[in-house]
A and B are shown apart, each in its own frame.
Chain A
Amino acid sequence: MSQSALKPPAADEGSSWSALADPRAPLADVMAAVEAAEADIPKLAARVAISAGSTVDLLSLYLRRHAALAGSHIEVSQGGFDDPLGDAERFAAAGVDCLLLAPSLETLAPAFEAKATALPDEAIAAVERALIGRWRLALEKAAAVRSVFLCSLHRISEPVAGGDRLDVVVERLNAALREEAAAFANVRWIDMGGVIATVGRRAAFDTRFHLRNAAPYSPALLDEWARQVTAVSRAWGTRFHKALVLDCDNTLWGGVLGEDLASGIKLSPHDYPGNVFHRAQTEFLALQRQGVLLCLASKNEPADVDAMFEKHPEMVLTKADVIVSEVNWADKVESLRRIATTLNIGLDSLVFVDDSDFECEAVRSQLPEVTVFQVPARASDYPAVIARIKDLFLAGGASTDRAGKTEQYRQRAEAIADQGRFASQEEYLASLGLTVTLARNDAARVARISELSQKSNQFNLTTVRYGPAELERLMADPDAAVWALDVADKFGAAGLTGVVVMRFAGDVATVESFFMSCRVLGRGVEVSIWPAVLADAAARGCRTLSARYLPTAKNAQAADFYDRLGLPLISEADGARNYAAAIADFSPPPSPWITVQHD
């Protein structure tokens, strides 16, 4: 992770923090720095286990390092040598959150790497069958683990110029393994080829320990491997960035608009440094197309920036790509706060990019939740920073219905603008033509439901995070129901916007979880769904409804939700509130402006 993305060190941890972040820090210093950093982060973010076909002892250290750099504390255990089945079973039973599986080419058959070129096709096919059989079983045993990272096979020997048969064999085995992994919703693929290429093949391996201890990897490779896994895991589920807030001068274009004027701005795709900024805009646009919300925070004359966006022939981004624009002379800290409020997202969902030391430092110190990247002084260093920014948003894959997000947020903003024309709130809501569609135990939505459970913080009654495997289990469980709710109105479909998880025991139906995306709050959707959910519970023989609110640092806005719904409060302790009511006597406030459909 680049230095610029880091929070500043506290006064007393200067030297150990620098060893934590410096890729060239000596190993012993990194060990000491990780220990020191973890002591400052009491809460454990995840329990991670490694099962590998080679010795990767130091991978634990580097995983902990990159977690600590992202502000998370993780615990890492190592499994046996080349024992994916035993490890998967043991770690799943121990309840680890994440499992990293790293198969090795060398364990497929003795000296496989050396022999593969000479083996007949049938022998290769037999190796492939054995590999698939074994790993399918391992993945099945790991199905209960929230996230599994399966690393690709790779060669350790020097490649032959132009490629050789070993390359073909490795590619074939990886394709088979990857196809196997695709059947499991909790499995992510880690491409070791990319990890090795980033470090450089010559620096990636240490032949001394490879032959003596079956430990082929250099510390540099293990460090980069850990960095990529941490990125794909979104810092072990602690990060979910949504918006990219960009400065304008020397960030979107070269030069200062107020001084150089539009004619002096460097943005030509054909000359340096204009081409660096032209590419930067192209990359930001690609992020926008994949669902990232682009915002501006620039100290400039709004009219100048508007003219630049509308008239400059070399601009890639248009005003339509920008969802919130804070172009003014206000403090950037204020601007960032306003952006978070307008979009109704947390400050920790923002990534801020600026070229100025002053602005970056001001944001780092006053809004430590915001991830900050500084545009380097030398334009040729900028692409590397953009690569890190992309990593933050895209690592681990963006799920498909995130792509239309800017459109949905825009619809919300337009809907807010429309609000003035109606005599009453209810009249306005009625004009929206709101439709809520409830789907029970819809297995096709598992990935999206899990994603929403990971990132919903504000309107989340109990803040339970669900992994895909867990959701599949709940959907199959006759004593549970997972309701997915989709909202549409005349402006468009908002996609999956809320989830209710019910548990049934005897005649009691308990709301284990209820969370919604904040995009649709304030329209009565959160109230409208209960008759359908309760009718289903009553049909199963339930007579009592039980629900609770558990406070977190972020969900205060949902604290009185069940009160507003009309449920009687039974008990309250440390902010946690328990509610119960007889289903037959309970009727939530009506929301006649909403049509509820369900299966």
Chain B
Amino acid sequence: MIDETKLKQVMATVLTVPPDAIGPDASRDTLKVWDSLKHMNLVLALEQAFGVEIPDEDAAEITSYALVKVVLQELVEA
């Protein structure tokens, strides 16, 4: 299983929000600061934090906490 505390911490650091702002519903729609620049940094930060490489097609799609979790889960288990 993905370490959700670590995931929240990485997302909060990159998106510059407090950790409790990253709830299960957090997404690009709910978080204004999550713009395309921050998104790029988020993909790079997630790759380095979890030791995975997020494929191009997924990189553009992981626009919510739930989707990030699903994609990371798959990559870590693969």
Q: Which residues of A contact B (CB under 8 A)?
A: 26-29, 31-32, 55, 57-58, 206, 208-209, 212-213, 215, 219
Q: Would you call B56 an interface residue if the criterion is a C-beta within 8 Å of the partner chain's C-beta atoms?
A: yes
- Residue contact B49 to A26, C-beta cutoff 8 Å: yes
Write out the residue numbers on chain B whose beta carbons fall within 8 Å of the beta carbon of A27.
14, 41, 44-45, 48-49
| B 31-53 to A, binary, CB cutoff 8 A, 1 in contact else 0 | 00000110011001100110000
Assembly CA distance A55 to B37 (angstroms): 9
**Measured CA separation A219–B37 after assembly (Å):** 14
**Complex interface: chain A residues within 8 A of B44 (CB):** 27, 58, 206, 219
Q: Is the CB of B48 within 8 A of A58?
A: no
Say if the beta carbon of B71 comes within 8 Å of chain A.
no
Q: Are A26 and B45 in contact (CB under 8 A)?
A: yes
B68 interfacial contact with A, CB 8 Å? no
Contacts of B48 in A (CB 8 A): 26-28, 219
9 smallest CB-CB distances across A and B, nearest first, come from A26-B48, A27-B45, A28-B10, A28-B13, A28-B45, A26-B49, A57-B37, A208-B56, A27-B48
A213 to chain B: which residues have CB within 8 Å?
36-37, 40
CB distance from B58 to the nearest CB of A (A): 10
Interface size class of B (residues with CB under 8 A): 10 to 19
Which residue of the partner chain, among B9, B41, B59, contacts A208 with CB atoms under 8 Å?
A: B59
17 contacts between A and B (CB under 8 A): A26-B10, A26-B49, A27-B41, A27-B45, A27-B49, A28-B9, A28-B13, A29-B49, A32-B13, A55-B40, A57-B37, A57-B40, A58-B41, A206-B44, A208-B59, A213-B40, A215-B40
Q: Does B17 contact A (CB under 8 A)?
A: no
Question: Shortest beta-carbon distance, B8 to chain A, in Å?
Answer: 11
A31-B14, A209-B40 provided; 14 other pairs, C-beta below 8 A?
A26-B10, A26-B45, A26-B49, A27-B44, A27-B48, A28-B10, A28-B14, A28-B45, A28-B48, A55-B40, A57-B37, A57-B41, A212-B60, A219-B44
Residues of B within 8 A of A209 (CB): 40
- Interchain CA distance A57-B36 in the complex, whole Å: 11
Q: How far is the CB of B68 from chain A (nearest CB, A)?
A: 13
Determine which residue in A57, A209, A213 has the highest number of CB atoms from chain B within 10 A of its CB, and name it.
A209
Q: Which residues of chain A come closer than 8 Å to B9, judged between CB atoms? A: 28
In the assembled complex, the Cα of A209 lies from the Cα of B37 at a distance in Å of: 10
Q: Are the C-beta atoms of B13 and A31 separated by less than 8 Å?
A: yes
Smallest CB gap from A25: residue in B: B48
Contacting residues of chain B (47-78) with chain A, CB-CB under 8 angstroms: 48-49, 56, 59-60
**Distance, CA A395 to CA B75, complexed state (A):** 43
| A89 CA to B62 CA, complexed, in Å | 38
A531 to chain B, nearest CB (A): 60
